[in-house]
Structure 1
């Protein structure tokens, strides 16, 4: 059962501002990209469109703390850690590292939901096949 995952990316020109620094919003996009790759590595769908099944994982809390800028062409390792797993939600911690140095940390909490008859969302327990493949990382790994 995995508790962590890594993805290596390079900062693209379109992800930077006029100073050549990665725009803050792109850290959130990279967190989602890493989460999606994590689920793919487990052979799990991140979103299911089958009626009555899980339809998604909306975010209920997100944050990012920046320590050092990432610039155009920098190669960055984004590491995901499963921080907390509850009945209906999962919280991830993300680390952004360039040449081993910590540049930013992020956190995302997502809730498992299905669609209701009124086009809304209803929280539901994380499906057993998903839960069986997730494990909380030790705090020492991500802190």
Structure 2
């Protein structure tokens, strides 16, 4: 009986140890659950921040691309304007050279001018003749 008593006490001791271990494990599980919830909330927050940062990065990239395209467009316009100004300057030099080199008026221009003057005189002569009559 003594042996049975000793076994019973041993079993009671083992049972108490197991209950203590179970209680500690349940307490640890509760702590772990709280930590898991905190980590999940942190992960959610970080995921939202990451999404916002990616969106901000994409918007900044788009703005940079628009700026670069606008810069290229303006550079192209400046180049076109410079080329146009260069052509106009060349044409101006050519016209000034022609003006300085031409000593007599162009014969065609003279013919047109004389013809116009003759037509004008003829018209007014006939007008005055009709009014005088």
Confirm or deny a common fold (TM above 0.5): no
Structure showing greater radius of gyration is 2
Relative contact order: is structure 1 or structure 2 higher (C-alpha 8 Å, sep ≥ 6)?
1
Instruction: Report the TM-score, using the length of structure 1 for normalisation.
Output: 0.17
- TM-score scaled by structure 2? 0.18
Q: Which has the higher helix share?
A: 2
